[in-house]
């Protein structure tokens, strides 16, 4: 395993630890999730480039599209919670049930 792969795995692990530590605020959790998706995107891109498998070139782009959709939904949820309750605590997510 090369140094680049180790750095990307370390970035993913640090993002996961950040998600577990700062899970009380939605904005912090969304930033950690976004950095996890970015490290997965870079790892998938490097894996596809190193394997020379041309049919898998679309996989990092699909992952990036899912990350953008996740970010848009998370930001919309953050704005809705902030406007309704004035805070971005994850505990307020239970109040959104019908």
Let me know: does 29 contact 22? Beta carbons within 8 Å: yes
Bridge partners of 89, per DSSP, are: 25
Percent of the chain with pLDDT over 70: 94
List pLDDT tens digits, range 56-86.
888 888 988 999 999 999 899 889 888 888 8
> Is the pLDDT assigned to residue 96 strictly greater than 70?
no
Q: Where does 52-96 have alpha helices with state H? A: 59-85
The whole domain housing 55 covers 3-96
pLDDT at site 6: 92
Q: What's the full length of the chain, in residues?
A: 98
**73: CATH:** 1.10.287.3510
> Is the pLDDT assigned to residue 97 strictly greater than 80?
no
Return the half-sphere exposure (C-beta side, CA atoms, 13 A cut-off) of residue 51.
Answer: 12
| Total domain count, the chain | 1
**pTM > 0.85: yes or no:** no
Let me know: does 59 contact 48? Beta carbons within 8 Å: yes
């Amino acid at each position: 395993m090369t140094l680049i792969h180790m750095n990307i795995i370390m970035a993913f692990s640090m993002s996961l630890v950040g998600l577990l530590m700062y899970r009380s605020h939605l904005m912090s959790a969304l930033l950690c999730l976004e950095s996890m998706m970015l490290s997965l995107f870079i790892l998938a891109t490097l894996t596809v480039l190193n394997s020379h498998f041309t049919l898998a070139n679309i996989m990092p782009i699909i992952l990036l599209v899912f990350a953008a959709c996740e970010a848009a939904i998370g930001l919309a949820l953050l704005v809705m919670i902030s406007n309704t309750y004035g805070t971005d605590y994850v505990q307020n997510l239970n109040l959104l049930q019908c």
